[in-house]
Structure 1
Amino acid sequence: MCGAPKQGQKLPAGVDVEKETVLLGTVSDAAGAPVAGAFVRLLDSTGEFTAEVVASATGDFRFFAAPGTWTLRALSSVGNGDVTVSPEGPGVHEHDITVAK
């Protein structure tokens, strides 16, 4: 069992999106249905593991990161998928992940 925190799309109170870089999105299958409980990993530009969260019941996930190049990788019983993102500055950056076997 993973100790990663459950996620949702609502940002916590006090988050200043003018100063913080927020990566969020939804994990879904090829038909567009949300994938609850997927493990979503944040990998740095060299592929090194940085953090992991568990997608919510609606497939939502969220990370706080620095500007730069990141890979968001979802792992689930439905399949796996990833997307590379490159936020250039603070703000909310939305990136969905589609998983497939």
Structure 2
Amino acid sequence: MLKKLRDTRNEKQRHRRLLNAALDQVRQAEMDLRREPKQVTANDVATLAFGRYSLRPTESEASDYLAAALIMRGHSIAHLPTPTDTPAIPAQREGAGQ
């Protein structure tokens, strides 16, 4: 029971911290005259999350949080790569490795 509560608390804390990292990157880009929010990358979010909170989000996870932060701040996410833009992992042939 306590482990489940602790895990839930840790998941909420991780979510909050990653979203804050993404929002901070977007806010900073809004204030910087040389940069636009659409120039913020998932790597920027992941780097800030690691530097500030010692979190290591995956690129996919950082991209999701960046998209959420951009939408929350009223920006478009049309410029972000979609999952179909990423190279596909070749399907393993049936019976391979047996």
Bigger Rg, structure 1 or 2: 2
TM-score (norm 1): 0.23
- Could you say which structure has the higher helix fraction? 2
TM-score (norm 2): 0.24
- Could you say which structure has the higher strand fraction? 1
